Structure 1
Amino acid sequence: MRLTHLVATAAIAALLSSCTANEAMDTVDVDLKKVSSKVNYQLSGKIVQKMQAMSMAKDSPIMLRIFKEEGVLEVWKANASNRYEMLRQYKICAWSGKLGPKVKEGDRQAPEGFYPISPGQMNPNSSYYLAINTGFPNRFDQANGRFGTNLMIHGACSSSGCYSMTDEQMQEIFALSRDAYKGGQQAIQLQALPFRMTAENMARHKNSPNIDFWNMLKPGYDQFEITKRPPEVNICEKKYVFNQQTDGKFSPTGQCPAMSTPATMQGALASYNKKYNDDYAKATKKLDGMVWYEPSEAERKAIVAKQRVGKELAYAPTGTSLDAGKLMKVADLEKQEARRAELEEVKKAIEIQKAELDKSTKNGKNVPVPAENPLPKPVQQAAVEQPGAARKGFWGSLFSKSGADAQQLEPAAAAPINAAQEQQPAGQKQAVQQAAATATPQPVTTATVKKPADAAAAQTAAATDAAPVAEQAVAEQQPKKRPFWKLWGN
């Protein structure tokens, strides 16, 4: 059979070489100013010449393959022998979220899996220049309760769950797809994968919570690497199966029918997996005690922030996980995650405090909040223990230990009183000043300074006691006025 012959001829070559991520990204030679019709745009002479050199017909089938971690989109095209070769490799401008599949609407994740794209999924009237609907959710996603809408490959370099390219890249991808449909291709296969599923990459991500899902996708990746043809994809028991022969029917949620892998494919996979297992063991040993730190979308954006300078606001490149992520010791990652959790707690506490502060404002103005007695404790103590000290008359001042003592008393007492007045609302401060000018001094006793039993009572009592104590303290600093002829008296 044709597949059997193809597998046999491709197996040895696949073991010796594979597509690498180190190939240079293609520069798209599209001048949008000269594009009069996005739908009818004809590919440049440069790319047509490349197809001819690779024995590809202009309208032969294509396949799209995405690697999130590297941030690349590849266009593979069938040659004259019906083997697919990589024709184009583009740098993805923006993809949101982190590695891992899309699960629900609003999670900002870009889809991962195998998706057939029919001509009806092409959108020439997209708000994002041009768009191709990925077809998420497919039968696998639906069987596993995953949902979301409008997950696209589109232009404009801005993403919220999509794979976003530049407009120039999207113009070329759209034209390549259109020509393939014209040549008779019914559906273009999109392979959206987290990374190249090499032994080292799988070992590096072995601690990811998505590793079981990725292990399920890996046979499809492997079989394309061996045959260089898009695998036949089916879903049963809520999982992907690839290139399986059966006389039964596949049901996404039903039990898998009796099925088998073609003998030649089994032989090719046996050789492929033997090398893979040896490489995986070496990679695991090399990475012992290390773990991959998967960066957030914000961390990816930070490393390409300069690319946004001078561009329109919608232009939002997100960078690659390989550039923003890193290998770390397990202990160091645990410390980093603990610190991250601690910072999150602090952030939440600040938000709570801010919410409480907002409650204490009205019409943009601060609302006075009861506080502790603003009168400093030394002044309170002096008022209690020496009630007569601040009321010395003319003779008392004259016969004090020294005139300097009297001069020092007034400034020392005035400073805390002013500080107390400054902490009062404007209306209360004015009232204290007026009262201080006219009030008759009264003895201050221990009963004047209240000591509430608990914190709540203290706060309330402080607010009510502040004004009387301040008034008395101010009044006591003023000598009692007497007629100049009355040097005597009580």
Structure 2
Amino acid sequence: MIKKGIALLFVLTLLSFITTLSFKEAQLKYPRVKKAYSDRFKCVDQLLKTSDIKTLDVYLRAFKLEEQLEVWGKNKNDSTYKLITSYPFCFSSGNLGPKRRRGDYQIPEGFYQIDRFNPESKFHLSLGINYPNQSDKIKSKHSNLGGDIFIHGSCYSIGCIPITDDWIEELYIFAVEAINNGQLAIPVHIFPSHLDTETYENIIKDSTFTINNSKFWKNLKEGYDYFEAHQKLPRIDISEEGNYIFN
């Protein structure tokens, strides 16, 4: 009976220790994350100091045509974001236009969030994107929309955004620091390209990409324009037709 009591006490103590770990401490239990912090944290810390950010909220914005992933950040109590850095895609699959089914090779387009951290990814480290979102589900006519879309390391992918092992280590640290500082969700907005007026007009003139996409891109442009004008994120809802509504 005494031995069982000791064993139970040990388990309860262990569970108590596990539940008191911060998100960052829990991530640092993984060797790749620990190594990333050892190798890249000074770079991340310097970028944050240069931007005068101490309590990080992070926002990610990707452009398929330019093959760039931007990292924006702000202090929790600030109202506007600053561009901290950007990373080039190492590889890109598919064409301009949204992802609508499994196996179409497309990188999604739309308004998403990071929904999981994978410290033991096949592609070094990875951050999962919550594709398909409700808009994707409404607008797609297919029964299997696919999934498992990530921003990750390495230099090859089908439908994901690979940015090499070095850059995913930095990005992963940004994301861990943001969640550890209390950010509840990390937005990821993926656009076909920059949607300033000139670039937008050029892509909708190209019949290769415009088929069935011009109205969709016009909708995305509303969200793009809001952030460009205010450096703030709009509140985003989704209509019954699957269109994004920005408030």
Same fold (TM over 0.5): yes
Deviations 1:257-306 (A, max 9, x none): xxxxxxxxxxxxxxxxxxxxxxxxxxxxxxxxxxxxxxxxxxxxxxxxxx
What is the aligned counterpart of 1:111 among 92, 108, 113? 108
Q: Which residue of 1 aligns with 2:117?
A: 122
State the secondary structure of the residue aligned to 2:31: coil
What is the aligned counterpart of 1:224 among 201, 223, 227? 227
Map 1:228-307; keep pairs closer than 5 Å.
228-237=231-240, 238-243=242-247
What is the aligned counterpart of 1:74 among 67, 70, 74? 70
CA distance in 1, matches of 2:171, 2:113: 16
Which structure shows the higher helix fraction?
1
CA distance in 2, matches of 1:159, 1:152: 9
CA distance in 1, matches of 2:136, 2:158: 19
Residue 51 of structure 1: how far off its partner (Å): 1.5
What is the aligned counterpart of 1:55 among 42, 52, 56? 52
Map 1:37-436; keep pairs closer than 5 Å.
37-40=31-34, 41-42=36-37, 43-57=40-54, 59-79=55-75, 81-118=78-115, 121-145=116-140, 147-207=145-205, 208-209=210-211, 210-237=213-240, 238-243=242-247
Deviations 1:369-416 (A, max 9, x none): xxxxxxxxxxxxxxxxxxxxxxxxxxxxxxxxxxxxxxxxxxxxxxxx
Paired AA for residue 182 in structure 1: N
Residue 53 of structure 1: how far off its partner (Å): 2.7
TM-score for the superposition, normalised by structure 2: 0.79
Higher relative contact order, chain-length normalized (CA < 8 Å, sep 6+): 2
CA contact (8 A) 2:69 2:89 kept: yes
CA distance in 1, matches of 2:87, 2:200: 23
CA distance in 2, matches of 1:240, 1:62: 22
CA distance in 1, matches of 2:159, 2:42: 34
State the secondary structure of the residue aligned to 2:176: helix
TM-score for the superposition, normalised by structure 1: 0.40
CA distance in 2, matches of 1:224, 1:198: 12
Q: Which residue of 2 aligns with 1:259?
A: none
CA distance in 1, matches of 2:239, 2:61: 23
Deviations 1:169-216 (A, max 9, x none): 111111110110000011100010011111111111223221111001
CA distance in 2, matches of 1:127, 1:220: 33
CA contact (8 A) 2:44 2:170 kept: no
Q: CA RMSD in A?
A: 1.6
Rg larger for:
1
CA distance in 1, matches of 2:44, 2:187: 21
Deviations 1:399-437 (A, max 9, x none): xxxxxxxxxxxxxxxxxxxxxxxxxxxxxxxxxxxxxxx
Paired AA for residue 239 in structure 1: N
CA distance in 1, matches of 2:47, 2:154: 27
CA distance in 2, matches of 1:150, 1:39: 21
Residue 38 of structure 1: how far off its partner (Å): 2.2
Residue 221 of structure 1: how far off its partner (Å): 0.5
Identity %: 35
Paired AA for residue 132 in structure 2: P
Count of aligned pairs between the two proteins? 205
Unaligned runs of 5+ in 1: 1-35, 244-490
Which structure shows the higher strand fraction?
2
